[in-house]
Amino acid sequence: MTIHREGYLIILISALILGGIQVGNYFLYKWLGWLWLFLLLTLGVLVMMYLVVQFFRIPKRTVKFEGNDISCPADGKVVVIEEIEETEYFKDKRIQISIFMSPLNVHANYNPISGIVKYVKYHPGLFLVAWHPKSSTDNERTTMVTEHANGKEVLFRQIAGAVARRICYYIQPNQTVTTGEEFGFIKFGSRIDVILPLDAKINVKIGDKVKGRITKLGELT
């Protein structure tokens, strides 16, 4: 396991703040002499530091997918599988799979397919809770589309939530990408939508716990 580069500064700032709190806790203990309070606050500091560090963890995972497989782009829970009218890029009917990422999940995002990046657009917006029906169209988000070698295109969208306040993405149009390769990161809870052709085979169902680079969402046919 490693720590994601997006976490270095936040972890340092958190360590300084929590370290200051612990110093204050020590002097409070020397003044009041309440050992139980000192231990309780120390535990709280340690738990908070652990939560910050674990949020930016990147576990080592082996990517094994066939040519037409659609890899899960993020850790989380499948909360939506439905037919929609996609209005930003395709402007036709598609299948949407939405994955909710809690603050306890790994928050790196991975390319669902290999191919050529055709479209990347960042949209400023609101910060509705990630499971809100309008979060896909009203929240701050980044939309990306990759064209597979077979000509099929897959759209995937990073969506900020009520807590997530920064979306990071690292790919650009005309770039060649590989299944399971990292394309971005979302800080502190969020959602990923994957928009597939209607004839795509779906391998997951609502409520499934999924893992980026490991779970197979489906196949392009």
Q: Which residues are catalytic?
A: 190
Q: List, in sequence order, every residue forming a beta bridge with 82; answer none if it has no partner.
A: 96
Phi, psi of 158 (to 5 degrees): -85, 130
Name the burial class of residue 201, with classes exposed (0-12), middle (13-18) and buried (19+) by CB atoms within 10 angstroms of its CB. Answer: middle
Phi, psi of 35 (to 5 degrees): -65, -40
